[in-house]
Amino acid sequence: MASLDDLKKRISSVKSTQKITKAMKMVAAAKLKRAQESAEKGRPYSQKMNNVILNLSSGISDKDNAPKLLSGTGKEQIHLCVVMTSDRGLCGGFNANIIKKAKSYFLKIVSEGKELKIITVGSKGNDQLKRTFGDKIIENISFKNSKNASYFDAEKVGKSIIEKFEKEEFDICTIFYNQFKNVITQIPQSQQIIPLNVENDNQNNVVDSYEFEPDEDEILSNLLPKNISTQIFKAMLENSASEQGARMSAMDNATRNAGEMVDKLTIEYNRSRQAAITKELIEIISGAESL
């Protein structure tokens, strides 16, 4: 059995931890509101961007001369996967859920005999993936110094992907991130951004009717790179909101568990103290009776 001093120290330590987790929960809650608003505002813009591109692609008469970002290389041999996680921990299963989704896709690609290349955005994803897929990781991008997700960060990732595509380093690019639903639920997503998955997007989106000037080909050549950065930025906003929601939930659970541990340790301390007092009284009474 632990001594009274040891129990006192453990109670004090757990209480200090409880204060930290409670403070982290409050900080995450404050950040979550802003991140959630940004994610919700970004969804209509990225959706509309996809709709415009779908409309433009349907108006192209000569599919052979369509921009490569839209039509692809015509092959499906080399897959580039962009895994977007956080740079900080203590956020429950946020990072693990994205990695689990990505790993299942990786194993499928490898089992089909295709080549896999990975770009990790966020140090936590890189730390987990390098254990099993270290030889497949070609680049690690981190935004530890950035307080909030910005379009410039997304554009940096987008330009890196486009440069690799122009050098014919891959045929298909897919991004992995968490879609924010609520504080408790974040849904891991995979989205193909190169080439644009026109068939699936046509089923999910309503294509509006527009007349464009100049030609569709010229507009698409300028709009497609911007769309890649936009989709990555949307994923970063979703990730930011999901991370804060997961951290808030994890810190709430940690605070509650710390409170339960303090209660149990306090009961154990009181019992040990009562046992020590009873033992002393018995010794005093026994000594008095022996006289």
Q: Is residue 30 in some structural domain? A: no
The maximal CA–CA distance of the chain, rounded, in angstroms, is 114
| Mean pLDDT, all residues of the chain | 87
Q: Is residue 221 in some structural domain? A: yes
Q: Is residue 31 in some structural domain? A: no
pLDDT for the residue 61: 61
Based on the domain organization, do 172 and 279 belong to the same domain? no
Q: Is residue 107 in some structural domain? A: yes
Tell me the CATH number at 149. Answer: 3.40.1380.10
Q: Is residue 86 in some structural domain? A: yes
Tell me the CATH number at 267. Answer: 1.10.287.80
Q: How confident is the model at residue 275 (pLDDT cuts 50, 70, 90)?
A: confident
92 token code pair? 């429950």
Based on the domain organization, do 15 and 86 belong to the same domain? no
**pLDDT tens-digit map of 151-182:** 999 999 999 999 999 999 999 999 999 999 98
Range of the domain at 145: 42-250
pLDDT for the residue 205: 52
By annotation, the residues acting in catalysis are: 91
Q: Is residue 243 in some structural domain? A: yes
If we measure between CA atoms, which residue out of 241, 186, 247 comes closest to residue 36?
241
Q: Is residue 36 in some structural domain? A: no
Torsion of CA 220, 119, 102, 81, to 10 degrees: 30
Residue 142: Cβ within 10 Å count: 14
Q: Is residue 33 in some structural domain? A: no
DSSP string across the chain:
---HHHHHHHHHHHHHHHHHHHHHHHHHHHHHHHHHHHHHHHHHHHHHHHHHHHHHHHT-S-GGGS-HHHH--S--SEEEEEEE--S---STTHHHHHHHHHHHHHHHHHHTT-EEEEEEESHHHHHHHHHHHGGGEEEEE--TT-SS--HHHHHHHHHHHHHHHHTT--SEEEEEEEEE-SSS-EEEEEEEEETT-HHHHHHHSPPPP---SS-HHHHHHHHHHHHHHHHHHHHHHHHHHHHHHHHHHHHHHHHHHHHHHHHHHHHHHHHHHHHHHHHHHHHHHHHHHH-
Asked if residue 199 has pLDDT above 90, the reply is no
**pLDDT tens-digit map of 43-99:** 898 888 888 888 777 766 665 667 788 888 888 899 999 999 999 888 989 999 999
Asked if residue 14 has pLDDT above 70, the reply is yes
Count: domains in the chain: 2
